[in-house]
Amino acid sequence: MALCARDIMQAEVQSVSPTMTMEDLEDLLLKERIGGVPVLENGALVGVVSRSDFVRAAGLERSLAGAVDDAADQSGSAGHGGSARSGARVFHARTARDIMAPDVVTVTLDTPLEEVARVLAKRHLHRVLVTEGTKVLGVISTLDIVRLVADHRLREVTD
């Protein structure tokens, strides 16, 4: 009997609201030691935010703040470094909705594990959400699949 998403998914999924600030999102990702979270609005999946999204947005903010500082330096304006500090405040005031990916890759409870692995590999993802409509039922990470291999659970099922 082949394994399906329901057999290996983690049913307890940490999620965030679209209005969660970047500062709170950063704290959550670090505290929970997770790489990404679904964004739910009134219980419905509206997006996903990963550490990569967070880093990309933070890098863009720093680049923009640096460009403003460089322009101020060239024009002789006072207050060097002020825009970088201001940019950090603006960044941390942004919300999950501002950086989330709205097009979420999902699978169903009955998706075979081989297909889950193909989706992860093809899309270069670290996790995929298991859904029913817009309701999140679980998550499967690449680490979950690695654990199956390490625990020899795949061999038992396919033999």
pTM of the model: 0.75
Give me the pLDDT at residue 76, please: 60
Which pLDDT tens digit goes with each residue over 39-79?
A: 999 999 999 998 888 787 776 555 554 444 455 556 565 55
The structural domain count of the chain equals 1
Domain-embedded: residue 69: no
Give me the pLDDT at residue 151, please: 83
Domain-embedded: residue 72: no
Which pLDDT tens digit goes with each residue over 108-156?
A: 999 999 999 999 999 999 999 999 999 999 999 999 999 888 887 765 5
> DSSP letter at 15?
-
Task: For residue 51, give the CATH number of its domain.
Answer: 3.10.580.10
Domain-embedded: residue 143: yes
The residue range of the domain holding 30 is 5-58+94-158
* Beta-bridge partner residues of 50: 36
Helix (H, G, I), strand (E, B) or coil at 18: coil
Q: Are 65 and 84 in contact (CB under 8 A)?
A: yes
Domain-embedded: residue 88: no
The larger pLDDT score, comparing residue 36 to residue 78, is at 36
Helix (H) or strand (E) holding 91: helix 82-93
Which pLDDT tens digit goes with each residue over 76-119?
A: 655 545 544 544 555 567 899 999 999 999 999 999 999 999 99
**Can you tell me the distance from the alpha carbon of 58 to that of 90, in angstroms, rounded to the nearest whole number?**
11
Domain-embedded: residue 77: no
Give me the pLDDT at residue 52, please: 84
Helix (H, G, I), strand (E, B) or coil at 2: coil
